[in-house]
Amino acid sequence: MTEAHQLTTALIVDDHPLFCDALAMTLKAVAGLSRVETADCLEAAIDRLDAGEAHGTAGPDVVVLDLNLPDVNGLEGLIRLRQLLRATPILVVSSMADNRMISACLQAGAAGFVPKHAGREVFRTAFEALRAGRVFTPEGYVALGSVSLQEAAISRLALLTRQQTRILQLICEGKLNKQIAYELTIAETTVKAHVTAIMRKLGVQSRTQAVLLAGEANFSSLLPEG
């Protein structure tokens, strides 16, 4: 991230209402935001963003995202929002703040990471960094020296388009091309073309390998052992 941003509006995506309310007040008080909206799951956030785009209204200047949402698995929420909002910074706020998780989020395109227990001044500093076009990481974070298998998987998944990500989700659910075509209201030949493109971008030779690679982005592979 190198481009500076004017940040006056935000969308918080978190399924805990009390935390959303508290964070909204904090961001207005210390980060200079004039309007903060909330969504309690990823699909609600995407619906709101799509509706705004359809009506020609400006989207939020920044998205503040919790990773542990009821309708996503692993880093899927971050990856899908990154594909939808190519130029909008996404600040991850999560209680899972070990080095591997932070590194994976940055690899997937997050503009910064703030631990959920952080104080007001940390959020102030984070937004100062985002406005200046800098990536924000919390105190104590140490960049990993080499790219892990999980980070490599996340990096590949981030290459997929929004439609390809949706198709991969359905593949992971065990859906056949005909079923995927019906659910997405597209031709089966279109699904086949997308599947071919998905496997090429992920560097795999089969649907099974694509599912296994998608599984590498799950939380269980990134949480500390023990």
Domains of the chain (ranges; CATH) run 9-131 (3.40.50.2300), 149-221 (1.10.10.10)
What's the pLDDT score for residue 187? 95
Q: In whole angstroms, what is the distance from residue 219 CA to residue 74 CA?
A: 5
The closest alpha carbon to 23, from 11, 5, 6, belongs to 11
pLDDT (average), residues 174-181: 94
Distance CA 132, CA 124 (A): 13
Beta bridge partners of 88: none
Collect contacts of 205-214 with beta carbons under 8 A, ≥24 apart.
Answer: 207/171, 210/168, 210/171, 211/171, 211/172, 213/153, 213/156, 213/157, 214/153, 214/157, 214/168, 214/172
Q: What pLDDT does 55 receive?
A: 76
**CB-based contacts of 169, cutoff 8 Å, min separation 6:** 76
Identify the pLDDT of residue 146.
57
What is the tens place of the pLDDT at every residue in 86-125? 889 999 999 888 888 898 899 889 999 999 999 999 999 9
Q: How far is CA 10 from CA 6, 24, 48, 120, in A?
A: 11, 9, 12, 16
The residues, any chain, with a CB within 8 Å of residue 134's CB and separated by 6 or more, are: 1
Better-predicted residue by pLDDT, 5 or 202: 202
Please indicate, yes or no, whether the overall pTM of this predicted structure exceeds 0.95.
no
Query: What's the average model confidence in pLDDT over 139-153?
Result: 74
**Amino acid 129: pLDDT:** 95
